[in-house]
Homo-oligomer: A and B are copies of this chain.
């Protein structure tokens, strides 16, 4: 992936990520890599002394390591950072490959009334309907469909085969991976006199704030009458479902295949594991940690910043483990 990147001096890289430098700062690197795959010109990341030793014996040109390396005498230029993983993440941006090409592919179908910003990339087969607004620096992947009146902010990255329905607004620097559907019709029905289901109106909005990143093949429904809101900095893994009228607080993390039913609220900084299920009208308070596979029943409130919950219905990890142990013990006793 290094083909497009500019070589950088190790000294420049160290300054970029706030690391101190051991060794020759004039050496050039042009890509990041794993220790196993490193080639000359690559910069690698060593999280402990064993990895540092492997890194120094690899083909890599330079290494980022933690303060444990300060006393060593490394044989390659070494950047020493308080949080080497974070430093490595920041350095990656220096060498990021440019996959999107500025401009609009001739096969894209863009309505005349749509407003397309500068330095945008609209790939082949994209469909942009009437009165859309696409902000400066944003890239839309091939064969994605942007419904009428959708607003996409600046420097967003929308993957291929994505659908953004009418009623959706993405703020700035939002990432939406391939196959994801945003602003879909929520699942709300009323039974009529004959017992058949009639759709309750689903005409609200979906607002996705700055710096939100959403994985592949997710679905987030628009609000029924008001808005579904995904607040600043939320990170969502693949195949997550978010129902109508949900509000997800700032910097919440949600792992793969979790489902959040309608009208639930998740407080800032909560961490939701994979395959978690939240019923409707649930409230998860700020900072709660829900273990993978746990479930919360409709209308329940889960509180306790930093407390880990597990199981269905979700209960504090300590209690959950005690119950597991009790059950194992009792079933063994019976067997004797």
Contact = CB atoms under 8 A, between A and B. Distances in A.
A312 interface: yes
Contact of A274 (B109, B161, B196, B261): B261
Given A274-B261, A277-B274, A201 B89 contact: yes
A119 interface: no
B88 A219 contact: no
A155 interface: no
Contacts of A312: 293
Task: Give the size category of A's interface with B.
Answer: 35 or more
A68 interface: no
Given A141-B145, A277-B293, A216 B181 contact: yes
Interface string A80-118: 000101101110100001010000010101000000000
Copies in the complex: 3
Interface in A313-327: 313, 319, 322-327
21 contacts: A1-B167, A36-B226, A86-B190, A88-B200, A88-B201, A92-B203, A99-B148, A125-B143, A181-B216, A184-B216, A196-B211, A197-B233, A219-B238, A238-B241, A239-B239, A257-B277, A259-B274, A274-B279, A277-B292, A277-B293, A292-B297
Interface of A: 1, 32-34, 36-37, 45, 83, 85-86, 88-90, 92, 97, 99, 105, 107, 109, 123-125, 127, 129, 141-145, 147-148, 159-163, 165-167, 175, 177-181, 184-185, 187, 189-192, 195-201, 203-204, 211, 213, 215-219, 221, 224-226, 233, 235, 237-239, 241, 243, 251, 253, 255-257, 259, 261, 269, 274-275, 277, 279, 292-293, 295, 297, 312-313, 319, 322-331, 334-335
